[in-house]
A and B are shown apart, each in its own frame.
Chain A
Amino acid sequence: NAGVMQNPRHLVRRRGQEARLRCSPMKGHSHVYWYRQLPEEGLKFMVYLQKENIIDESGMPKERFSAEFPKEGPSILRIQQVVRGDSAAYFCASSPPGVPTRQYFGPGTRLTVT
């Protein structure tokens, strides 16, 4: 059973471009979470999704950021018009249905905005 997959592992974007980060949860997991980690800091919750539903987006910036978890395919975190402050590691985690406590983390995507 493969773990949580994230791609790309590293992404470089110029200011104003769009960044798309993908997350494939573990097989059988229907809950997906996105976290952001700034340098020298802990992880900050962004959004919690189930298939086709956003359950909790209290940690998402109000503008430029969006997330989806379609019925088929990976979860996508989309950042429009990136700025230097978006440079961070973005981690995805997944958990099985009915058991949100234990979250399994992916290796992360490191976004650099130049």
Chain B
Amino acid sequence: SQQGEEDPQALSIQEGENATMNCSYKTSINNLQWYRQNSGRGLVHLILIRSNEREKHSGRLRVTLDTSKKSSSLLITASRAADTASYFCATDAGTGNQFYFGTGTSLTVIP
């Protein structure tokens, strides 16, 4: 079954506000990654968090991982219009061969 279900499906906020997206998955993982995809473009890797990590920061991004709840969250602080994109979480389900992507959260940041 598919891993990585994001919530909400769509989110619209004002510039400067924080955006939080959540991801839930179903089986054990080695890693969880977040990607961004601008409309009609490829995927940009944002951050990887390992199963033995609980929190990770990268610039304005903060990712948490709760393996007991099989969930992760991505927080974008002080959002900008350029953050408008779809955000996907991807899990490896322990195999390392393939990633399971969710359907994504579509974020719109209004200037």
Contact = CB atoms under 8 A, between A and B. Distances in A.
Given A42-B4, A102-B48, A55 B43 contact: no
Interface of B: 4, 30-31, 33, 35, 40-45, 48, 88, 90, 92, 95-104
A69 interface: no
Interface in A12-36: 33, 35
Interface in A36-80: 40-45, 48, 55-56, 58-59
Nearest to B92: A101
Given A42-B102, A43-B90, A91-B42, 7 more contacts: A33-B98, A43-B88, A43-B101, A45-B99, A103-B99, A106-B42, A110-B40
Contact of B42 (A42, A55, A102, A108): A108
A105 B98 contact: no
Contacts of A44: 101
Contacts, number: 56
B31 A101 contact: yes
A26 to B, nearest CB: 13
Interface of A: 33, 35, 40-45, 48, 55-56, 58-59, 91, 100-108, 110
Contacts of B42: 91, 105-108
A59 B98 contact: yes
- Name, among B4, B48, B90, the residue most crowded by chain A CB atoms within 10 Å (CB to CB): B90
Contact of B45 (A43, A45, A100, A105): A105
A42 B41 contact: no
Nearest to B95: A56
B100 A45 contact: yes
Contact of A41 (B96, B99, B103): B103
Contacts of B33: 102
A97 B32 CA distance: 20
A13 B45 CA distance: 31
8 contacts: A33-B97, A35-B99, A43-B43, A44-B101, A45-B98, A101-B31, A105-B43, A107-B42
